[in-house]
Structure 1
Amino acid sequence: MDLITLGFTGIGVLIFLIMLRVPIAVALGLVGFVGIMLVLGWPAGRNPDFARGFSAAFNYLSFEPFSFVTSFSLVAIPLFLMMGYVAFHFGFTHDGYTAARAWLSKLPGGLAIASVLGSAMFAAVSGSSMATAAAMGKLAVPEMLRYKYDKGLATGTIAAAGTLGALIPPSILMIIYGLFTELSIGKLLIAGLLPGLLSAAGYVILIIIRATINPSLAPPADHHITWTERVTSLKGVWPIIVLFILVMGGIYAGIVTATEAAAIGAAGTWALAALARKLNVEGAKLSILETVTQSAAIFAIVVGAKIFVGFIAMTGVAGYLSDIALGLDVSPIVIILALSVVYIILGTFMDPLGIMLLTLPVIIPVIDNLGYDLIWFGVIMVKLLEIGMITPPVGLNVFVLKGAIGDTVRLETIFKGVTWFLFADVIVLVILIMFPWISLVLPRSF
């Protein structure tokens, strides 16, 4: 078996294992290890020596993944996660949502719009779509249902708005993308800001249109909020604004690296909680426990992906596909659109991090040789992963939201409600593909 065939066989086996619900970290690591063993233990023109291949693969396993995981840049992931969990458990997220509700509740679909903005604020301090969906699900869905909002609209809003955590900085997916492509993580984080805000605007416009056409979906609030209450509610927003300025302002000004900004953000969240006199033992325990749990899951997948990436690099599959793409008599944009379809299909049965780490070693050389900006493509990839997070039959954010709200709303109702937001996502995706400057204007001024 030649190396190219071996590489494609490995990819096929990996997808099969994932469809069997084998944990993505285990599937990546297992296929990568066996693949490396076959590559190194079955040299061309020689008889197989699997003992030699096993030894060589084990040596690779004992060095490469460890050296990657100890990368200083990777420290940003648990720090950003901690920033988000501390902000949630000490009430900053709740205060931000309360302020948005006070100012926007009189608009058509005002509570749903407030939920989108609340999700955007939580995304700005967490970097995690699943954390955003879970937190805002517990916070906003009961409130909307209390005011007789349509269950599909209420839950669909949170499931879709939760995906903003993948794009609005700091984004965990952007950090992983930067580590594997060796791009500036600071520039990648900043590149996601305008596309993230554009996505949020798309959701808001959709909600206003639907609530205006069919007011029964989002009945107006039956209580009057005074201007004094609105102004007073802004007191709860300042910690989130301060954190965002500390983190993204420091990166954009070139004062700190992304990892240093993450450390400042994590420490700043604890300090702000202390200043606001919100610190408590229970919240601290939950924040630390959830940070450790989520970080361990991400790092396990990263280690498995690093092993798989080594296997793909040895087989030459990436270069082979790149040569095919360059030899096609079609416009490069056609290849981008074809890749978009592939990513959306993968998103129907895989989690975003798994999709990214599965495809990066194969796709990035193709995109690079086509002459596209890899920062722009990073934004497009993350946007496609966002769409996958709410696409049936998996729609990871939908299941996270379902777990957060329990049996209040049926799963089918959530999927039905989120379908409307898929239309908004597709429109935003087309805009981002047609106008790359939206993604590149900020990082190019960085």
Structure 2
Amino acid sequence: MTGLPPEAIGGIGTAILLAFIFLRVPIGIALSVVSIVGIYVLLGPRAAAGMLSEIPYDFTAHWTLSSVPMFLLMGFFCFHAGLTEGLFRLARYFLSWLPGGLSIASIQGAAMFSAVTGSSLACTAAMGRIAVPEMLKAGYDKGLSTGTVAAAGTIGSMIPPSIILIIYGVFVEAPIGTLFIAAFIPGVLTAVLYSVMVCIRASIDPSIAPKVNERVTTRDRLLAIRDTWPVGLLIVGVFGGLFSGVFTPTEAGSVGASLAFLISIAKRAMSWGVFKTAIIETLRTTASIFVIAIGAQLLTRFFALSGVTELLADFVSGQGYSQLQVILLIGVVLILLGMLLDPIGIMLLTIPVLLPVLETQAIDLIWFGVLMAKFLEIGFITPPVGLNVFVVKGIVGDLVPTHLIFRGIAWFVVSDAVTVTLLIAFPAIALWLPSVIGD
């Protein structure tokens, strides 16, 4: 309609999209507006109206996506019914004797909570309310106390059920169950490396994590196990069935939400207020994710019509970059974007551009999905927009300045860099378990 070549229109649209992002326009709105206007310019009003009516419905009607609200509902039921409050206490009773034991208990408690929620923010909020006051009371360094919880919450993006991996799988048409299985070992590895790092730091400088002198009896440990066994039952029931092939990831979400509801009733922790709050938060979070995802779907169509993705893939191929160089370049871009945007927005913004490049380079999409989730985890805690950091800040208020929280997460970012290096050097860390279970 303008006389410009499609590639030029795609380039202008990309520039406008980036301008919107830097102006802090909500990512879902920015993606949708740029895409619809771009399609209008390329093909005219009828095509733009047709895609606006077709793509949102086709995407939201995708059966696999029904697992998103179900896994979120499972997590919110567990959180608001208080089923996860004992996880930190359980980890504390078994790990507090270690150097930095309360910090390590927070990490392991967050890892366990991650198995019943796909939200990093929910994991951070739940563990922060319980663990941070305990660490500060014990005289732990303020940066370490808050940084531990902010970083540990990111494990919720890796250990199944990960909402990020569900959305990624839908977009690249990769099996969700395989992605979940592939992410399990890297998620555990993240928790282990965090714990080892804290243990080493606390051994070198005990002042940052004074030893907790408390007598924990076998009875205390057994009582803690008794209080938290329903969460263990939920985890085993959902993911045992999922990994053994008894039900699909979509069915796993429904089973998980139902089990969480029934367990809450059995423990007399379910009330109308808890039920209502969990439903509302699930609807709000799901709607936010879907708005962004619909915008990303529209952007994918706009880029395909304008030839931007093909042009980028040809450019990368023409440069002769190796797989490693491509992965490192993508990692830098994701981390930089992580300093400005929320992780789901980053993923949905970049996948339409990256997918043709990944296919051209013959990069395994399962392995890359796990690696991308890891890069996005780093974005949860890097300044200036470290969402988990501000969740923790909301919990501690004026007690801990924001700059101290960011300082506290620095060593965890170093641990994440080690995890990323291992994942790139040894792809089998992510791909071995799916190959075993698949066989």
Alignment TM class, shorter chain as reference: over 0.9
Q: 1:81 aligns with which of 72, 86, 99?
A: 72
**1:69-107, CA deviations, whole angstroms, 9 ceiling, x for partnerless residues?**
111111111110111111111122111111111111111
Partner of 1:231: 222
Q: Does the CA contact (< 8 Å) of 1:273 and 1:279 recur in 2?
A: yes
- Corresponding letter in the other structure for 1:32: S
Q: Does the CA contact (< 8 Å) of 2:55 and 2:294 recur in 1?
A: no
Q: Is residue 24 from structure 1 mapped to residue 60 from structure 2 by the alignment? A: no
- TM-score normalised to structure 1 length: 0.95
Q: Does the CA contact (< 8 Å) of 2:310 and 2:356 recur in 1?
A: yes
**1:253-281, CA deviations, whole angstroms, 9 ceiling, x for partnerless residues?**
11111110000000000111122222223
Percent identical pairs in the alignment equals: 47
The structural deviation recorded for 1:324 is: 1.7
**1:42-87, CA deviations, whole angstroms, 9 ceiling, x for partnerless residues?**
xxxxxxxxxxx12320111011111111111111111101111111
Partner of 1:424: 415
Q: Does the CA contact (< 8 Å) of 2:70 and 2:254 recur in 1?
A: yes
Q: Is residue 12 from structure 1 mapped to residue 3 from structure 2 by the alignment? A: no
Q: Distance in 1 between matches of 2:383 and 2:17?
A: 21
Partner of 1:242: 233
Partner of 2:199: 208
**1:120-147, CA deviations, whole angstroms, 9 ceiling, x for partnerless residues?**
1111100111111111111211111111
Q: Does the CA contact (< 8 Å) of 1:170 and 1:189 recur in 2?
A: yes
Q: Is residue 298 from structure 1 mapped to residue 301 from structure 2 by the alignment? A: no
Gaps of 5+ in 2: none
Q: Distance in 1 between matches of 2:51 and 2:363?
A: 32
Partner of 1:441: 432
* SS of match in other structure, 2:85: helix
Q: How many residues align?
A: 434
Partner of 1:263: 254
- TM-score normalised to structure 2 length: 0.97
Partner of 2:244: 253
Q: Distance in 2 between matches of 1:87 and 1:378?
A: 27
* SS of match in other structure, 1:126: coil
Q: Does the CA contact (< 8 Å) of 1:246 and 1:261 recur in 2?
A: no
Q: Which runs of structure 2 are paired with 1:35-114 in the superposition (5 Å)?
A: 35-40=38-43, 53-114=44-105
Q: Is residue 173 from structure 1 mapped to residue 176 from structure 2 by the alignment? A: no
- Corresponding letter in the other structure for 1:367: L
Q: Is residue 311 from structure 1 mapped to residue 314 from structure 2 by the alignment? A: no
* SS of match in other structure, 1:92: coil
The structural deviation recorded for 1:329 is: 2.8
Gaps of 5+ in 1: 41-52
**1:233-260, CA deviations, whole angstroms, 9 ceiling, x for partnerless residues?**
1112322222222222222111111110
Q: Distance in 2 between matches of 1:356 and 1:261?
A: 24
* SS of match in other structure, 2:97: coil
Partner of 2:275: 284
Q: Does the CA contact (< 8 Å) of 2:148 and 2:409 recur in 1?
A: yes
Which 4+ stretches in 1 moved above 6 angstroms? none
Partner of 2:363: 372
Q: Distance in 1 between matches of 2:27 and 2:321?
A: 34
CA RMSD across the alignment: 1.2
Q: Is residue 148 from structure 1 mapped to residue 151 from structure 2 by the alignment? A: no
Q: 1:126 aligns with which of 113, 117, 126?
A: 117
Q: Distance in 2 between matches of 1:138 and 1:15?
A: 36
Q: Does the CA contact (< 8 Å) of 1:190 and 1:248 recur in 2?
A: no
- Corresponding letter in the other structure for 2:336: I
Partner of 1:3: 6
Partner of 1:351: 342
Q: 1:386 aligns with which of 369, 373, 377?
A: 377
Q: Distance in 2 between matches of 1:404 and 1:25?
A: 28
**1:206-228, CA deviations, whole angstroms, 9 ceiling, x for partnerless residues?**
11011111111111113211121
Q: Distance in 1 between matches of 2:80 and 2:139?
A: 27
Partner of 1:43: none
Q: Does the CA contact (< 8 Å) of 1:90 and 1:273 recur in 2?
A: yes
**1:141-189, CA deviations, whole angstroms, 9 ceiling, x for partnerless residues?**
1111111111100000011011001100000000000110111111111
Partner of 1:47: none
Q: Distance in 2 between matches of 1:296 and 1:237?
A: 31
Further displaced range: 232-241 or 105-114: 232-241
**1:334-363, CA deviations, whole angstroms, 9 ceiling, x for partnerless residues?**
111111111111111011011101110110
- Corresponding letter in the other structure for 2:63: F
Q: Distance in 1 between matches of 2:300 and 2:84?
A: 37
- Corresponding letter in the other structure for 1:362: V
Partner of 2:398: 407
Q: Does the CA contact (< 8 Å) of 2:10 and 2:306 recur in 1?
A: yes
The structural deviation recorded for 1:13 is: 1.4
The structural deviation recorded for 1:10 is: 1.6
Q: Distance in 1 between matches of 2:177 and 2:267?
A: 30
